Amino acid sequence: MRRSRKVTLIVVTGLVLLAAGFLWALPEIVRRVALDQIPKRTGRAVAISDIDLNLFTGRLAIKDFRLADRPDPEPFLEAERLALRLSPIALLRSHIHIVELVLTAPSLRIVRTESGELNFADLLGGTAEPAEPEPPAAPRRWTVTLDRLNIARGRVHVADRGVTPPADWRAQDLDFEATGLTTRAGAPPGRLALRVRIDEARLAASVEPLRIEPLIFLGKVTLDGFESGRLNPYVYIPLGTPYRPKGGRFSLAVTADVDSDDHEVRKAILAGSMSLEREAFARAGHTDPFLSASRVGVEIKEVDALARTLTVANVTLEGLDLEARRDARGVIDVVEIFTSKASPPARPGGPATAAPRPPAAPPKAAPAPSEHPRQKLFPILGGLVDGFREVRVERITLTPSKALLIDEGTKPPTRLPLTKLEARVDDFTWPVKRPATVALSTGLPGGGTLAIKGPVTVQPFDADLVIAIRNAPVEPYQAYIPIPARLSGRYGGDSRNRIAIRDGVLVAQSKGNSWAENVEIREPGAERPAIRVERMELVGIDFDWPKRAAAQKAAFRRPRVEIERSADGSFNVRRLFTPPGPEGATPTPEPAAKSGSGPSGSQPKGLLETMRLEFGEVRIDDGFIRFLDRTTQPAFSQDLSRLAVRVTDLGNRPARRAKLVLQSVVGGDADLDIRGELGALGAPTFVDLVGELQSFNLPSVDPYALAATGWAIKKGELQYKFRFKLDGNQLAADNDVLIGQLQVAPASGSDEVKRRIGLPLGLIVGLIKDQKGEIHVNVPVTGTVNDPKFSLGDAIWTAIKNVLVNVVSAPFKAIGRLFSGGGKTEEPGEKLDVPKVDPVSFEAGSSVLSPAMEDHLLRVADFLRRSPFVSLALTPVPGAGDVAALREEAVAARLREFQKERGVEDAAVALAEYYKERLPDVPLPATLEEQAALLREREPAPDAGLTDLGRRRVQATRERLLTVEGIPGARLTVAEGPAAASGGSAAPREATVEGRVDFAIMAGE
């Protein structure tokens, strides 16, 4: 028994010693097994300095653990110390109870290669075939409790070579602590806290309370100072888009609240804020950003994961600085960012900076190009929004910012800066439940302000906006005005606008007022404006696209227009508003209407046919127009001042007639008054006007008179009344002309009036003046304006000629006749016959007026009295009988003198002796008559006698008109030689029996 006890004691002691030795050697055994097995199973070198293990207390400590990377020699994972303490007794209750887990100074290095493989992929297992599933064991529920977990002074290094450029991430000073974590139901909640420095950023997270079964936690995550540029390699930018974010400082503060019971999650709420400071976008190859913001902040009010709703309290953009650019192709860079087409990246997170070379044969798995839709700039954000059933943004705020719009499509490029740009959007929802309220204000290019406010519905689009523009200049938008004119001035307006898309059709409505001040329009390079308006107004605008455009009043105050006609005949106003055509371009004919373009191939209707236009009143107040014509010599200039125009009820209703009233002062002292009706816009032409021009000084139009007639106007005043009607193509005009004290004088060798009418203007003026020195005629003009043969100029000349025929011919019915001027002209139609006053005839050799001629001179005097501005030129014309009578008288005088000298009493003897002495070589005729006749034939021409006879006849005629009829001598002039005065015959008539005095009508003073 003793021996047996002794042996038993020895065995027990040995076993105890053996167990104690095993327990003492166990840590080293574990260390050696780990050093042997880990490299075999991982292919990685491993180092462990020491292991402490106590099975009774459940303590395990691993010191200086190091696991090498493959193939790099650098460590993949290393830790200064890992301490674990378990409760062994809890294992008996199917409960894993970790009393404490402490990891000191861990360091983890993660590498992703260019092929996308991770350096720890081999540790996760290969592609071995999955083992056959074991039959399910009897359910046994294990629970886990972690009383305390602590990670101190941790480090993580991530080297991502799978993106371009390669990314390098370093997390340092990682401290993590968790307490009271358990999967046991109904246990008190625990907590956890994390603090780490990621490069320059600091991340902190805390969850308290935290219960796992059922899940309940309230957590908060903050990130401060993160450089968002580090994410650039991971942000998908469409291929070919030359815009990249430069990166700013990102901060985040988010709280999450989750609550659940044994069956389901009852609450999952996320809230917080995030901000991005000093972010900017730059174009490839440029260092200057085209878009930057000092701060972008988002306040998330609530993200309800169960209801899938997102509520954003505020989105704030501060200090936005945009430089948008439109290139010569018309592409706008800001739009291009969101609309660029490109293939998706080759792999998630892969490089997207350059398009890869196409392979020789497309890989089987490559998607067809048609499968690559238009990508968004931020697809993650788009997917996030699309994942919510409802999104609401309570407010979006843009604080004072600026923008610069550069348009390279104009020459030179246009720069449009916007300053003090502010905006606010309230209550934006998606899907749309109600309109969002939008408010925007900005300083416009060159000055002025723009303010927009009102509700906007995104889908279907519907906006009701109040727009106010103040003191905005026109000059910055010059490049977009498609005419050569250079415009300046300031404009403004107040309007309420409705813009909507209904069934795919744009609807635009606007009501309000607009105005512009100090508007100037000038030619390029000109110092003085051709058109200047002190103020323009559109009052009561009522626009409804595409149905109606109306305004209560369009007013132009103190417009000043300078119309200049250059020496080449071109007008400056036309040059101002004629769009320049391409150099060398020739006009192309309009294409013929296609058979399907409308009924019977008709063209589609224009705006004047489809849109109702209505203007209650169009008026011009205190206007001024100066017209300068350099085609005349000298140049012609005329002014219209105090111009007042009023047009009412102007529109395009077919039956509408607009009323026109125009008043002005012409040339400083003549009054112009025009009134009448105008037809509807777009309808067949209808104009019915009556007007009057009073006290117009005619010498002011002398340059035109010289060019048109060849006569200068020395004096004259015009009173002019007219009635003008143009109905469709039918023209009817009635012109009542009263000219006082008109005096004209020939100014050039070309008498256009005589060429067209047949009489010189001076004579016409003298003939048609009345006793007061006035000319009063009515000139009707009619015609069909669309007749190819119709010419307004020819119609006016014809009308004037017809009037003159009636006026001029009447006085000559009693004293003479009208005879054709003769000769051919280039002008069509007959010319006015030249008026002719019958001459005063005399007996052969006599200067005594017969009773019949005295009566004739009475009628001539009556004509002169009725035509006080006509003079007569008196020209003596000898007849054949006068020559014979003077020769007979001369022979008789010489014969009497011969008879007296010789003392011969017998006349027959004296004649015979005189004949022999006078004509000694000529045989003496048998009879006395033949002797006398032969002497008369040989008598020299009686020039002196004829001259004297003519003088006496003119004197007798003139004296009769002067003394008996009372005609002023200034109106009776004596012409030398045959009648050749203006309007008379060019040479004396063939020799007649009777001598006479011819009258030539001349214009008098």
Contacts of residues 185-191 at CB distance under 8 Å and 24 or more positions apart, as own/partner, are: 185/213, 185/214, 185/262, 187/145, 187/211, 187/213, 189/216, 189/217, 190/146
Q: Give the model's pLDDT for residue 285.
A: 66
Q: Give the model's pLDDT for residue 444.
A: 94
Three-state DSSP string of 547-612: CEEEEEEEEEEEEEEEEEECCCCCEHHHHHHCCCCCCCCCCCCCCCCCCCCCHHHCCCCCHHHHCE
Whether pLDDT at 372 is above 70: no
Q: Give the model's pLDDT for residue 446.
A: 92
Please state the rounded mean pLDDT for residues 355-376: 40
Q: Which of 136-140, 602-606, 687-691, 978-982 has the lowest mean pLDDT?
A: 978-982
966 phi and psi angles, rounded to 5 deg: 75, 25
Q: Which of 337-346, 516-525, 723-732 has the lowest mean pLDDT?
A: 337-346
- The residue among 820 and 719 whose pLDDT is bigger is 719
d(C-alpha 104, C-alpha 49), whole Å = 14
Which sign, positive or negative, has the C-alpha torsion 761, 763, 766, 769?
A: negative
d(C-alpha 687, C-alpha 592), whole Å = 32
Contacts of 948 (CB under 8 A, 6+ apart): none
CB 960 within 8 A of CB 952: no
- The residue among 593 and 94 whose pLDDT is bigger is 94
648 phi and psi angles, rounded to 5 deg: -120, 150
Calculate the alpha carbon distances from 152 to 68, 82, 195, 663, 824 in Å: 21, 11, 10, 97, 124
pLDDT tens-digit map of 924-965: 777 777 777 777 777 777 778 888 888 998 999 999 999 988
pLDDT tens-digit map of 662-676: 999 998 889 999 999
Q: Going by DSSP bridges, is the β-strand pair 390-407/321-326 parallel, antiparallel, or unpaired?
A: parallel
Model confidence at 1003, pLDDT cuts 50, 70, 90, reads confident
d(C-alpha 34, C-alpha 53), whole Å = 14
Model confidence at 298, pLDDT cuts 50, 70, 90, reads very high
Supply the mean pLDDT for the chain.
80
pLDDT tens-digit map of 396-451: 999 999 999 989 888 889 999 999 999 999 999 988 889 999 999 999 999 999 99
Contacts of 495 (CB under 8 A, 6+ apart): 466, 467, 510, 511, 512, 513, 514, 541
Please state the rounded mean pLDDT for residues 744-750: 76
Whether pLDDT at 906 is above 80: no
Whether pLDDT at 5 is above 80: no
Calculate the alpha carbon distances from 483 to 348, 415, 486, 580, 627 in Å: 53, 19, 8, 7, 22
Q: Give the model's pLDDT for residue 350.
A: 43
d(C-alpha 709, C-alpha 745), whole Å = 11
Q: Which helix (H) or strand (E) holds 809?
A: helix 792-809
In one letter, which amino acid is 188? P
Report helix angle 761-768 to 792-809, nearest 10. Answer: 50
Hey, is 28 helix, strand or coil?
helix
Whether pLDDT at 740 is above 50: yes
Contacts of 675 (CB under 8 A, 6+ apart): 659, 660, 661, 662, 689, 690, 691
End-to-end, the C-alpha distance of the chain in Å comes to: 184
d(C-alpha 163, C-alpha 754), whole Å = 97
Please state the rounded mean pLDDT for residues 549-554: 93
Model confidence at 623, pLDDT cuts 50, 70, 90, reads very high
Q: Give the model's pLDDT for residue 85.
A: 87
- The residue among 897 and 829 whose pLDDT is bigger is 897
Please state the rounded mean pLDDT for residues 806-822: 51
Q: Per residue in 749-779, is it b (16+ CB within 10 Å) or e — as a string?
A: eebbbbebbbbbbbbbbbbbbeeeebbebeb
Contacts of 824 (CB under 8 A, 6+ apart): none
Residues in a beta bridge with 724: 689, 733
In one letter, which amino acid is 210? L
Whether pLDDT at 106 is above 60: yes
Whether pLDDT at 104 is above 50: yes
Three-state DSSP string of 930-952: HHHHHHHHCCCCCHHHHHHHHHH
Q: Taking the C-alpha atoms of 85, 87, 93 and 95 in order, what is their torsion angle to the nearest 10 degrees?
A: -20
Q: Give the model's pLDDT for residue 220.
A: 94
Please state the rounded mean pLDDT for residues 15-42: 73
Model confidence at 832, pLDDT cuts 50, 70, 90, reads low
- The residue among 349 and 558 whose pLDDT is bigger is 558
In one letter, which amino acid is 696? F
CB 504 within 8 A of CB 520: no
Q: Which helix (H) or strand (E) holds 980?
A: none
Model confidence at 365, pLDDT cuts 50, 70, 90, reads very low
Share of the chain above pLDDT 90, in %: 28
Share of the chain above pLDDT 70, in %: 80
Hey, is 284 helix, strand or coil?
coil
d(C-alpha 374, C-alpha 344), whole Å = 10
pTM score above 0.75: no
Find the angle CA(803)-CA(806)-CA(812) to the nearest 5 degrees: 140
Whether pLDDT at 525 is above 60: yes
- The residue among 998 and 918 whose pLDDT is bigger is 998
Q: Give the model's pLDDT for residue 212.
A: 82
Instruction: Report which of 825, 819, 812 is spatially closest to residue 863, judged by C-alpha positions.
Output: 812
Instruction: Report which of 490, 445, 498, 435 is spatially closest to residue 467, judged by C-alpha positions.
Output: 498
